[in-house]
Amino acid sequence: MCMETYFKNLSAEQGSREKLGQDIKELIRDVESLTRAVSKDITDKSSTEVNAALDRVKSSCKKIESEAARLGKNADQLIRENPYSSLGVSFSVGVILGLWLTRK
């Protein structure tokens, strides 16, 4: 028996990955525009160092984005294969956190 729930207006896989991707792309655009604005006032050596750092940030962001996508797919697959265990673990964690937070 397979238990699946679909929401037409919400997809966790798309929502979180797309939001992360948009945030990363916006960050890269902001850093690029900052680099262009500042590069007029810095030397060529500093400009090349900033551009190299920007390239490293871009590659790191792409790695993070692909890793997040991979982990999201793995979590989705695990939950679909073990829905009742996942529900039990989620409920237990919620109860423990609720009890812990209400004690303070």
Quick one: pLDDT at residue 40? 66
Give the length of the chain. 104
Domain boundaries, the chain: 12-103
What was the pLDDT predicted at 3?
47
- Tens digits of per-residue pLDDT, 4-25? 554 455 455 555 667 777 777 7
Q: What is the pLDDT of residues 46-65, one digit of tens each?
A: 777 777 887 888 888 888 88
The residue whose two tokens read 């750092």 is: 53
On whether the pTM is more than 0.75, the answer is no
SS3 10: strand
